[in-house]
């Protein structure tokens, strides 16, 4: 890839700057990632020019980048992020079963409360990364519905062969696609109620920037052609805020 020599040069500059400041750069803790949406794009290793990643032992790129609990893959589809938190939610649901059953233990009301306070925040962590306008969500929604089916079984104590929609109605649970829309709508409302000097407003349209200075990659700085091709949670939030009739 054409960016490998640039990365090696930039790494050398960073190393010299840190050395001049009296700091130590541990080369063995370095990591590299390639981001590309092209199918069949190769992800070659990089020669950092420093031991141990030089010569025959090059630094190989990792498949996923974990930052602040978010998992970024090379195509920014967030498949690993969704899989990771889906498994965490599934484990949590099975662990909740130890708190009681339909005869004894936690009441139905408290089970419902535990679901919304413990399981939903885990499964929906980073929802804005992958729930975008026009994105393919059928498979993700189906997997989340399977997790919610286990929750409905635990809350109601029904047989496993019971209809899922009926159990969810008895347990007072929203259908998964409605729950997702509701959570995204709440996020848009929070965006509309941000203070006029909030840093996130710098990413919005010119009419919603407030007193914050514009940033180069904010919606207010992009051309109309770029905005039409852009797929972003910020763009979806701005479009949703335009539907609000009240001012904040």
Q: What is the pLDDT of residues 54-111, one digit of tens each?
A: 777 888 888 888 888 899 888 888 888 999 999 999 898 888 878 766 567 788 888 8
Interval 139-192: pLDDT, tens:
889 989 999 999 998 888 888 888 988 988 988 899 999 999 899 888 888 888
Number of H helices, E strands in the chain: 10, 2
Burial letters for 37-65: b for 16+ Cβ neighbours within 10 Å, e otherwise? eeeeeebeebbbebeebeeeebbebeeeb
| pLDDT at residue number 84 | 92
SS3 label, residue 60: coil
pLDDT average, residue stretch 30-52? 79
pTM assigned to the model:
0.78
pLDDT band at 199 (very low <50, low <70, confident <90, very high): confident
> In this model, does residue 228 exceed pLDDT 90?
no
| pLDDT at residue number 20 | 92
Contact criterion met (CB below 8 Å) for 59 and 43:
no
pLDDT average, residue stretch 188-213? 81
Identify the CA nearest to 126 among candidates 193, 170, 182, 71: 71
| pLDDT at residue number 246 | 66
């Amino acid at each position: 890839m054409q960016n490998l020599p640039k990365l090696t040069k930039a790494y050398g500059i960073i190393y010299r700057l840190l050395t001049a400041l009296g700091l130590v750069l541990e080369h063995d803790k370095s990591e590299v990632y390639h981001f590309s949406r092209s199918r069949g794009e190769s992800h070659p290793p990089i020669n950092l020019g420093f031991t141990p990643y030089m010569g025959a032992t090059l630094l190989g790129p990792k498949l996923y980048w974990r930052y602040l609990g978010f998992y970024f893959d090379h195509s920014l589809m967030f498949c690993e992020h969704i899989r990771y938190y889906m498994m965490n939610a599934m484990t949590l649901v099975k662990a909740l079963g130890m708190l009681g059953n339909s005869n004894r233990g936690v009441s139905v009301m408290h089970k419902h409360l535990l679901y919304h306070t413990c399981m939903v925040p885990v499964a929906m962590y980073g929802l804005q990364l992958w729930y975008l306008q026009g994105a393919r969500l059928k498979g993700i929604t189906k997997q989340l519905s399977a997790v919610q089916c286990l929750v409905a079984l635990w809350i109601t104590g029904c047989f496993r062969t019971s209809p899922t929609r009926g159990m969810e109605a008895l347990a007072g649970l929203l259908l998964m696609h409605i729950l997702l829309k509701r959570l995204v709508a709440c996020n848009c409302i929070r965006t509309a109620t941000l203070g006029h000097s909030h840093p996130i407003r710098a990413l919005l349209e010119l009419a919603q920037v407030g007193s914050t200075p514009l940033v180069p990659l904010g919606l207010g700085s992009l051309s109309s052609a770029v905005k039409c091709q852009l797929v972003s949670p910020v763009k979806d939030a701005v479009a949703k805020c335009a539907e609000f009739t009240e001012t904040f």
